[in-house]
């Protein structure tokens, strides 16, 4: 059972929740850029949150389903058509074997996720299935999907998908999507996409603010920054007024994290994201709080942003609120599928 890639999109990779705990051997955590949307996509098809999905960036792929499958799209909305008919976003859809899914451009945000009941069945490498682009391993051949790629699914995906969809529609009518696919009337909202107005990213003061000085800190917090086209899964390069960094202001190489904002000698900050390097030697001016790293990742090239500093208590409260929002939806969806999911899982 497999997905066949007819057109790969701009950057489509297999992702999961990453490989935490391996930075001491030089392997960054990686994983989905927007982990909340990844988890919700999985919950929509009855998967655990760590099941592998397809992550799409800005322009999505065209795929053909080799079997019936229960699927869901979540995260940044993309234009999508299933056998020529508009495909609903943020809803479970039972797709018929042979159907073609055409995912076009993102209409808001940057990263979207396609979950399939049972998960993407690629091998586990270093405790994860996700594609590690810097290391060239995981996912499908350690690389972005290409035309002709075959993405393996769980062996019993067809039977399991039909059983799961039957549970979802046992007490409410299904909705026809095209000639042979069906969905539901309800949907699951997103919590990580930029809204109206200039996005405000919350951050803790970085370790090296005293080294950089008050003038650099004030300039950083007072500026409006723009995401540049050179940004990628490693991090966002931000364009704005050059920060007045003293020449040769570097530090001893030390650990970095998702959300670390470094200031290289040119004075244009870099906000590190999922595929960040294990260590870095540029001074850290800020650490984006965990509740806002997904919002940061969802800002497309050209988007503007401001950074404000908060204290640790506020950062903890924001994360608790976000985890509560996502967790309640995940639990509600698990209840919709019943306490025991049909045995539809990727191999170990």
Q: State the average pLDDT for the chain.
A: 93
CB 34, CB 298: distance < 8 Å? yes
Q: What is the pLDDT of residue 345?
A: 67
pLDDT of residue 127: 92
pLDDT of 308 reads: 98
pLDDT at 314: 97
Tell me if 113 sits within 8 A of 102, measured CB to CB: no
Q: Phi/psi of residue 279, each to 5°?
A: -135, 165
Neighbours of 247 (CB within 10 A): 6
All residue ranges of the chain with pLDDT < 70 are 247-250, 339-345, 347-348
Cα atoms in the Cβ-side hemisphere of radius 13 Å centred on 223: 19
What does the pLDDT read at residue 348? 61
pLDDT value for 281: 86
List of residues 6+ apart from 144 with CB closer than 8 A? 8, 11, 12, 13, 131, 133
Looking at residue 346, what is its pLDDT? 72
For 66, phi then psi, to 5°, come to: -85, -5
List all residues 6 or more positions away from 281 whose beta carbon is below 8 Å from its beta carbon: 250, 251, 252, 253, 254
Phi, psi of 124 (to 5 degrees): -80, 125
pLDDT digits (tens, 9 = 90+) for 298-310: 999 999 999 999 9
Domains and CATH numbers, the chain: 2-192+325-337 (no CATH), 200-310 (2.40.100.10)
CA-wise closest residue to 234 among 269, 276, 271, 270: 276
Of 251, 248, 241, nearest to 281 by C-alpha is 251
């Amino acid at each position: 059972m497999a997905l066949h890639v007819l057109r790969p999109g701009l950057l489509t990779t297999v992702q999961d929740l990453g490989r935490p705990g391996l930075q001491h051997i030089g392997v960054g955590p990686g994983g989905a850029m927007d982990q909340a949307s990844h988890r919700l996509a999985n919950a929509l098809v009855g998967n655990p949150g760590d099941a592998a999905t397809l992550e799409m960036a800005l322009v999505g792929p065209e795929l053909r389903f080799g079997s019936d499958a229960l699927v869901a799209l979540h995260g940044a909305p993309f234009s999508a058509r299933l056998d020529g008919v508009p495909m609903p976003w943020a809803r479970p859809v039972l797709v018929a074997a042979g159907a073609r899914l055409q995912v076009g451009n993102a209409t808001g945000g940057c990263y979207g996720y396609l979950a399939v009941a049972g998960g993407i069945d690629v091998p586990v490498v270093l405790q994860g299935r996700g594609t590690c682009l810097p290391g060239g391993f995981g996912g499908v051949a350690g690389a972005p999907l290409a035309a002709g790629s075959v993405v393996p699914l769980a062996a019993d995906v067809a039977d399991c998908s039909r059983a799961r969809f039957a549970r979802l529609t046992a007490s409410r009518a299904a909705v026809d999507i095209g000639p042979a696919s069906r969905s539901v009337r309800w949907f699951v909202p997103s919590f990580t996409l930029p809204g109206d107005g200039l996005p405000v990213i919350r951050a803790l003061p970085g370790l090296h603010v005293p080294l950089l000085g008050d003038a650099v800190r004030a300039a950083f917090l007072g500026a409006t920054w723009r995401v540049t086209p050179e940004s990628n899964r490693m991090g966002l390069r931000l364009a704005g007024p050059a920060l007045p960094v003293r020449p040769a202001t570097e530090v001893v190489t030390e650990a970095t994290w998702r959300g670390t904002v470094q200031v290289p000698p040119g004075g244009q900050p870099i906000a590190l994201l999922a595929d960040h390097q294990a260590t870095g030697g540029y001074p850290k001016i800020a650490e984006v709080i965990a509740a806002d790293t997904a919002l940061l990742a969802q800002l497309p090239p050209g988007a503007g942003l401001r950074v404000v500093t908060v204290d640790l208590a506020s950062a903890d409260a924001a994360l608790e609120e976000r985890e509560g929002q996502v967790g309640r939806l995940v639990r509600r969806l698990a209840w919709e599928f019943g306490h025991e999911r049909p045995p539809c899982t990727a191999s170990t």
